[in-house]
Every structure is written in structure tokens, then in C-alpha cells.
Chains A and B, each alone.
Chain A
Amino acid sequence: MKMNTDTRDEGPAIVVEGLVNRFGDFAVHDGLDLTVRRGEILGVVGGSGTGKSVLMRSIIGLQQPDAGRITVLGRNLCGEGAETDLVVRERWGVLFQGGALFSTLSVGENVEVPIKQFYPDLDPAFRAEIARYKVMLTGLPEDAVQKYPSELSGGMKKRAGLARALALDPELLFLDEPTAGLDPIGAAKFDRLTRELQETLGLTVFLITHDLDTLYEICDRVAVIADKTIIAVGTIPELVATGHPWIEEYFNGPRGRSAHDAHLRGEAVNAAANGAEIGA
């Protein structure tokens, strides 16, 4: 996310090649390939149990794959010649499904944890100040900083989890079903927040979701997991054009259609507003 004058490698953010994950005899992934470009929001969709979360856990190193190669931000994390020191951890942030906040720490202290871990020399007062600022960056009210996770609503927990994920100014953000369990207004706000942060901070976002509105509104590309691999990656029109039955059902089912219509309506409203401005 940093503005750089140096020549940092500008290759893809994440490259997964030939990933194999097995639980006993059951293969979740078999030869899965996926590339996430820098600065994009990639949505990952798939039916329940197709291994979306397992894919994310493999990339961030919580699940040791049975075979395959994973490169994140130019660093080989898995496969032949893998690096063992995970300096790259500092360059990514993860938002787990339920927020995964540390229940015995306040929201502010939760955000301080990664900062303290990587920069133990920082003045504690300044660290607390950074944490407060990050919490407010995610749109939480100021008094949320001192609250404990048990005192927060589901949506606030997600925002607090996002604040912790953003604590170290990561280049890469992993979101696991960020809008699941949120009301439609809260979900739309969270989508907008994700997009805004992605634009201001120049993030690359890897986003697992079931939320069709999220896919239409903020994802640059969508990857579909089915049959133990990624069957297609692209924009939603490109995916629908592949004619795969599951994709067809997913985007052209009743929910897919209404999300699509809502998206079109939103665009029409924007276009009308722009037209009015030009006219005036």
C-alpha cells in the first residue's frame, strides 16, 4: 500500500499453482491454479464445502497443503524452496469470518497487538493513538475503542476485525465472508468501506463471499471454485458467457437476477445524476 519511489516487484500479488489439499481420502482441491493481480478486488465464490476457506487458509499458511506452490507478494511460501521466515506476514491483513477478536482485550488493544508484535519499540502512547485512529478509519465511533468484543454488535465486530487487519498498513487484505450476518444496509456500508479503503490505500483484496451484491458492487474479478479447482476467473459477464451450468445457476438464479437488477438500477441512478450535472 505504500507509495514507493523504489522499484518494487510489480508481479501478481498471489500466485497459486497446482494446489492439492486432502482431508483423509477426500480431496478438497486437486491441481488448483489462481492468480490475484495487484490492486484488484478478487471475489471467490463457490458452493458450501468447495474449499473457499481452505484456499484462504492455505495461502496465509494456516493449512499445510499436500502439494502445490504458493507465492505471495513475490515470496515463495509453499512448495519447493519455500521461505521459512514469514516477513510477508507483516504485509497482509486477515479478517476472519466472526471477526476473531481477542475476547479478553478491548477493541483498541486488539488493534495494538500486531503493532506491538512487529514494532515493540514504539512508544506505547503513540501505539494507542495509532490504534484509535485505525479503529475510526473503519467507521466505528470513538467510544468503541475501549469496548470489549462482547459489547459489540456483529457488524461492529467485523469493523473492529478490519481495523486489526489494517493495523500494519498491509498491501494485501484477506476477507472471509465480510458481509455474512450483516443487515443489508450494514452490508452495503461495509462494501463501500472496503472499496474506499482499497482505493485510498491501494490494497489488493482477496474476498470470499456468498453475497451477490458484494460481487456486483465491488469486485473487479470473480473466481469460481467447483470440481476441486478454479473453473473460471473473470468479470461477471465473462463468467456468465462461459455457460458452465453452476455459474449459470449462480448468477441467473432469482437472487443473482435481483442483485444484477439492483446493480443496474444503481448505475442508472449514477448516470442520471451525472447527466443532470452536465445539463446544469
Chain B
Amino acid sequence: MMERDALWRESLARGGNCPHTFNPMQNSAHHSLEPLGEESDADGSRLVLSGQLTLAHIGPLETDLRRIDGPVRVVDLAGVEEIDTVGAYVVCRMARLHESDITGASPEAERLLAAVREIDTAGDTHPHRLPVWERVPTALGERVFGARGGIYGVVGFFGQVLVGAASLARHPSRFPFKALVHQMELVGVSALPIIGLMSFLIGIVIAQQGSVQLQQFGAEALTVNLVGRITLRELGVLMTAIMVAGRSGSAFAAQLGTMKLTEEIDAMRTIGISPIEVLVIPRIVAATFMMILLGFYASVLAIIGGAVVGQFALGINFVAFLLRIQEVVPTHDLWVGLIKAPVFGLIVAMSGCYNGLQVRSNSEEVGRRTTMSVVSAIFAVIVIDAFFAVFFTEIGWG
């Protein structure tokens, strides 16, 4: 408000015309209560309003008017210089509350008052707010039920994908190969630089930090075992899954969510195209297949990162490091990684597509669902990874 007043004063000084006023002294709305004269035998008073009954100036007056409780028989508008719909609304509300008459209104004010009178805003639209001890359990209960609905939704979506896949298997000519190749490029090929760099650096960190600890036992040579086994079994695939969830899972959710909002998906359905077959299955297949390649690629880059540390910090020759990997890492470590990778890819793609298709109503939901797709994908990947770790150890692939 201060800023705007300054603006008006400045424009007054320049001689320009201001939106509301020419004289800052008149820049307000006033009221006064006067006793009714001899002409009336009823007790009560006359409310005299003056000045500018406009949105810009009515704030303080409105607060004062709320405090008047005595019977007001007459509202006098003769001194009003300017009135707008908000002013007319306040006058009408006052008159309705006290059942008083309005006098002294100019023709323009009368017109506004007539328009306002037709509208009955007496009803209270503020929703009733529950007390906190009811609100918190209610919110909690709604969440629990929402989670149940979410599980139904995910299972249902998985079913839809299976049905779609079966239908494509029966009609292979319908399979969207072009979309699949395009998604493979987006998920796989364009992720190569960032996943390569990430894995290379992780390899360096593991080798360097591992060697510092192993040195205390005089076992730096075991750094090779550490790097080889941990990247092939766990980190290569896990970090790649997290990266793909952030890069591609979120993109799936945002794309499908936006398509949902713009009714593209509804349009497909009306033409008889299944959005599951055309949009979801190519993405899931691309992410599942590319995760295998990306996971292996990430492990290789991490081992190279370890070998670089070996060459420069540990005095192990680069080629010797790689040959030693072959000796100390059992083949089943590679299989552990390669079996987990497609499962993680499936989870990430399913989470992205499912959340994208859940978008309803507005743009805020697209953002919320995109976030949710990444968070739930990473969480699910880590949970499944824990099960895999126990499982593979139990079957003797320790």
C-alpha cells in the first residue's frame, strides 16, 4: 500500500492523472452515526457515509462498520463521492443486517445497489473445520485407505500391461517398433555419457577409499576384489537404476501426465488405440532391455575407474588390475547383476507410466506424480535389491 501511495504522489507531482484520486486529503471513506431527528419516533440512528466507497479505500471503513451494533434505521449516502461494486456491496450488507433504508444515493449508486440486491450472499461458504483431534485421525485414515487404493491401482495396471502384452503377442504386426527404438535411444543411448561418468567416478572412490582401509591390514591387493565384486554385484546396477529413475522414469510420468491432461490419451481410446500398447509397452520394454546394457556398461566403467586408481595410487599395473579381476570375481557375480538389471528397469518404467496415467485435473498433479514416480521407483528398487541379496547368498552365489 505504501508503495502505491508513493506512486500516486509521484504521479500527482508530475501532473498525471491517477486512477482513483486527485486530492490525497480525500483519499478515504468516513462514517458517522447521528441520532434520528424528530421526524421518527423509533429509536435508532442514522449512519452517514462519505468519501470514496471504493475497493482502494474501503478496508478500514469495513472493519469499523462491523463493530456497529445499535439499530441503524437509515444509511445516508449523500456525502459519497465515489462508489464501486464493493462499496455498494458493503452498503447493501449493512442495510440488510440492520433492516435500514438507504437514502441520498445518486442514480449511478442506485444502479449499482440494485444490481447488488439481486444477489444473496448471505450463505456461509466457509467449510466447517473439524477440531484437531478429529482432523488428524481422519487424515491418517484417508491416507491408509488411499494406500489401499494405490495397491489395487498398481496391481490393476500390471494386469493391464500383461493383457496388452498378450494382445501384442497375438498380433505382432501391431507392435510399435518405431516407438520402441525411439524410447531405447532416449533411455539408453543418450544416458551413456552421464551413467559412464558417474560409474567411472564411483569406481575411483571405491578403489581409493577401499585401499586406504585395506592398507591397515597390508592387504591393498584385495582392492581389486572389492572393486570387481561390489560393482558387478551391487553398485553398477543399483546406481544405474537410480539414474534411470531420475532421467527416464520421471520423463515417462511427465509425458503421460501431460498427455492425460490434454486429452490425447482419451482421443487414442476413442480411435480404438490402446494407450497401454502404444505408449506404455514400448517404454517398459525399452527401459527393461536398456537397463541390462546400461548396468553392464556401468560396471565396466567402474572397474576401469578402479584400475586407474590402481595404476596411479596403488602401483598395480592397469592391465594387471583387469586380469586380476578375471581371476578373483566369480562369474555368478556378473549373473547376479544381469538378473537384477531388467527387474529394476521394469520397476522404474512401471512406476513412471503408472503415475503418469494417474494424473487427473490439473498441472500441479503432473509435478506431484512425477516426484512420486521417482521416489517410489527408487524405494522399490532398494527393497527388491535387499531381497535379491539374501536370495543369491542362500542359493550359494555368495
Q: Which residues of the partner chain B approach A134 to less than 8 Å between Cβ atoms?
A: 85
Q: Which residues of the partner chain B approach A3 to less than 8 Å between Cβ atoms?
A: 82-83, 106, 108-109, 112
Within 8 A of A (CB), among B343-398: 360-364
Kindly state the separation between the CA atoms of A90 and B7 in the bound complex, as whole angstroms. 13
Stretch of B117-125, B147-155, B164-172, B188-196 that contacts chain A: B117-125
Q: Which residues of the partner chain A approach B126 to less than 8 Å between Cβ atoms?
A: 128
Q: Which of B17, B63, B83 contacts A2 (CB 8 A)?
A: B83
Task: Please tell me if B213 contacts chain A, counting CB pairs below 8 Å.
Answer: no
Given A3-B106, A132-B125, A146-B125: A200 and B111 interface contact (C-beta under 8 Å):
yes
Within 8 A of A (CB), among B1-38: 1, 4, 7, 11, 16-22
Asked whether, in the complex, the Cβ of A132 is within 8 Å of the Cβ of B121, the reply is yes
Query: CB-nearest residue of chain A relative to B110?
Result: A3
Q: Which residues of the partner chain B approach A217 to less than 8 Å between Cβ atoms?
A: none
Asked whether, in the complex, the Cβ of B85 is within 8 Å of the Cβ of A142, the reply is no
Q: Which residues of the partner chain B approach A115 to less than 8 Å between Cβ atoms?
A: 55
Task: Please tell me if B84 contacts chain A, counting CB pairs below 8 Å.
Answer: yes
Q: Which residues of the partner chain B approach A25 to less than 8 Å between Cβ atoms?
A: none
Task: Please tell me if B127 contacts chain A, counting CB pairs below 8 Å.
Answer: yes
Kindly state the separation between the CA atoms of A8 and B11 in the bound complex, as whole angstroms. 15
Kindly state the separation between the CA atoms of A107 and B81 in the bound complex, as whole angstroms. 32
Q: Which residues of the partner chain A approach B1 to less than 8 Å between Cβ atoms?
A: 119-121
Within 8 A of B (CB), among A118-175: 118-123, 126, 128-130, 132-134, 136-137, 142-143, 145-146, 148-151, 166, 168-169
Given A91-B19, A119-B56, A126-B62: A5 and B121 interface contact (C-beta under 8 Å):
no
Task: Please tell me if B59 contacts chain A, counting CB pairs below 8 Å.
Answer: yes
B18 to chain A, nearest CB (A): 8
Q: Which residues of the partner chain A approach B20 to less than 8 Å between Cβ atoms?
A: 2
Task: Please tell me if B115 contacts chain A, counting CB pairs below 8 Å.
Answer: yes
Task: Please tell me if B200 contacts chain A, counting CB pairs below 8 Å.
Answer: no
Query: CB-nearest residue of chain A relative to B84?
Result: A169
Asked whether, in the complex, the Cβ of B85 is within 8 Å of the Cβ of A9, the reply is no
Q: Which of B11, B17, B119 contacts A133 (CB 8 A)?
A: B119
Query: CB-nearest residue of chain A relative to B367?
Result: A104
Asked whether, in the complex, the Cβ of B86 is within 8 Å of the Cβ of A5, the reply is no
Asked whether, in the complex, the Cβ of A130 is within 8 Å of the Cβ of B89, the reply is yes
Kindly state the separation between the CA atoms of A226 and B327 in the bound complex, as whole angstroms. 81
Given A87-B7, A122-B59: A104 and B81 interface contact (C-beta under 8 Å):
no
Task: Please tell me if A4 contacts chain B, counting CB pairs below 8 Å.
Answer: yes
Task: Please tell me if B54 contacts chain A, counting CB pairs below 8 Å.
Answer: yes
Asked whether, in the complex, the Cβ of B17 is within 8 Å of the Cβ of A74, the reply is yes
Q: Which residues of the partner chain A approach B84 to less than 8 Å between Cβ atoms?
A: 1-2, 169
Given A169-B84, A202-B108: A136 and B59 interface contact (C-beta under 8 Å):
no
Asked whether, in the complex, the Cβ of B109 is within 8 Å of the Cβ of A136, the reply is no
Question: Which residues of A pack against B, CB within 8 Å?
Answer: 1-6, 8-9, 74-75, 85, 87-88, 90-91, 103-104, 108, 115, 118-123, 126, 128-130, 132-134, 136-137, 142-143, 145-146, 148-151, 166, 168-169, 196, 200-202
Known: A120-B1, A151-B361. 13 other contacts (CB 8 A): A3-B112, A5-B82, A74-B17, A87-B11, A119-B1, A126-B59, A128-B126, A132-B121, A136-B121, A143-B125, A150-B361, A169-B54, A169-B86
Question: Which residues of B pack against A, CB within 8 Å?
Answer: 1, 4, 7, 11, 16-22, 54-56, 59, 62-63, 81-86, 89, 106, 108-109, 111-112, 114-116, 119, 121, 123, 125-127, 360-364
Minimum-distance CB pairs A-B, first 10:
A3-B108, A150-B361, A103-B362, A169-B84, A104-B364, A200-B115, A136-B119, A121-B1, A122-B59, A2-B82
